[in-house]
């Protein structure tokens, strides 16, 4: 069965510093992987997705993620954090039966 694990429920970075949010997946077949962002009191919105094309995926707002099969990882990065990046981030994998499985989320705080 497919699943994702997000390491670190809370991450704090200074404004302008590198953002690194970790996600590891478990899948017996090549997975489709996603990162979603949730701003306070809103629904989730798609940041980026990996669908077995390029291993480095670029998303919105300067975020990108790299699919590493050898490490079963799909970490999310951004070179320079902005105050507006403060939000909760979810990694997800598409499983069988049209279902998506979400990680437990990482809350990102950006310190001015």
Partner 1 sequence: NAGVTQTPKFRILKIGQSMTLQCTQDMNHNYMYWYRQDPGMGLKLIYYSVGAGITDKGEVPNGYNVSRSTTEDFPLRLELAAPSQTSVYFCATDRDRNTGELFFGEGSRLTVL
Interface positions with partner 1 (CB under 8 A): 9, 32, 34, 36, 41-46, 49, 51, 90, 94, 97-105
Q: Which is nearer to partner 1, 77 or 100 (CB)?
A: 100
Q: Which is nearer to partner 1, 22 or 49 (CB)?
A: 49
Strand, helix or coil for residue 85: helix
49: which strand partners? 34
Phi, psi of 94 (to 5 degrees): -90, 125
Q: Output Rg (C-alpha) for the chain, integer angstroms.
A: 13
Q: Which is nearer to partner 1, 62 or 95 (CB)?
A: 95
Q: Measured from the CB of residue 34, what is the shortest distance to partner 1 in angstroms?
A: 6
Q: Measured from the CB of residue 53, what is the shortest distance to partner 1 in angstroms?
A: 12
**Which is nearest to 83 in space by CA: 60, 63, 108?**
108
DSSP for 16-28 reads: TSPEEEEEEEE-S
Q: Measured from the CB of residue 109, what is the shortest distance to partner 1 in angstroms?
A: 16
Q: Which is nearer to partner 1, 36 or 67 (CB)?
A: 36
């Amino acid at each position: 069965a497919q699943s994702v694990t997000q390491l670190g429920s809370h991450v704090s970075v200074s404004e302008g510093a590198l953002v690194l949010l970790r996600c590891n997946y478990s899948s017996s077949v090549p997975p489709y992987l996603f990162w979603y962002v949730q701003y306070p009191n809103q629904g989730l919105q798609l940041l980026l997705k990996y669908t077995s094309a390029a291993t480095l995926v670029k998303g919105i707002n300067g975020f990108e993620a790299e699919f590493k099969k050898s490490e079963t990882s799909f970490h999310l990065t951004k070179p320079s954090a902005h105050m507006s990046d403060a939000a909760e981030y979810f990694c997800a994998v598409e499983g069988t039966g049209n279902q998506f499985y979400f990680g437990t989320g990482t809350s990102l705080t950006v310190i001015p």
